[in-house]
Amino acid sequence: MNRGLTLPVVQFKTRVRDDSINGPNPFRWEYFSSEKVFGSQKNPRRVVVFSLPGAFTPTCSTFQLPGFEKAIADGEFEKFGIDDVYCLSVNDSFVMNAWAKQQELQHVKVLPDGSGEFTRKMGMLVDKSNLGFGMRSWRYAMIVRDGVIEAFLPEKGIMDNCDYDPYGVSSPENVLKVLEQL
């Protein structure tokens, strides 16, 4: 993916809380188009997206997600006109919502790509069967304006069954440095 490319159009299938639903599971399905999430010429938005191999995994839960959450809380992204920061993973909505609750997220929005459709269309779907994961996202971040990539920041060495977990290029600290340069 290169700067200036328009993001693929997909439907993200999410579960959202609906207080009009009684019972122990007050959630309903809601589909969000990638154009609604990432913006378009008709829906101007500037967002940061970071994608990672899996909810509840060590690097994702210890560094990347909490780092973005803290940076947003500290106002670091607001000064660059960022409307939202999304954490995307090839996990279903139930897993992503449980992870968001466990992480006590207030600012980062989780975006489930349960079937991996968006990740595949981005060219970032990799096999992680060596870790028992199956098909997952390679770790990357991007800055998107109106559905068009401003900066694409993949971790080095994209490959199937990678035996290490590269992290740094897609960190909140690096994304903020790139925003300063844009």
Give me the pLDDT at residue 10, please: 96
pTM confidence score: 0.94
Low-confidence ranges of the chain (pLDDT < 70): 1
Query: Which amino acid appears at position 1 of this protein?
Result: M
- Percent of the chain at pLDDT exceeding 70: 99
For residue 61, the model assigns a pLDDT of: 93
- Helix, strand, coil percentages, rounded to 5, for the chain: 30, 30, 45
Catalytic site residue from 7, 10, 37, 60: 60
Cβ of 75: how many Cβ atoms within 10 Å?
8
pLDDT (0 to 100) of residue 9: 94
pLDDT at 3: 81
DSSP summary character for residue 138: P
* Alpha carbon distance 50, 64 (integer Å): 9
Q: Is 162 in the active site?
A: no
Q: How many Å apart are CA 141 and CA 88, to the nearest integer?
A: 9
Amino acid 17: pLDDT: 87
Contacts 24+ apart (CB under 8 A), 13-20: 13/93, 13/112, 13/114, 14/93, 14/96, 14/111, 14/112, 15/93, 15/94, 15/97
CB distance 170 to 141 below 8 Å: yes
Delimit the domains of the chain by residue range.
Answer: 11-181
Note the pLDDT of residue 117: 97
pLDDT of residue 1: 59
Q: Which class is domain 11-181?
A: alpha beta
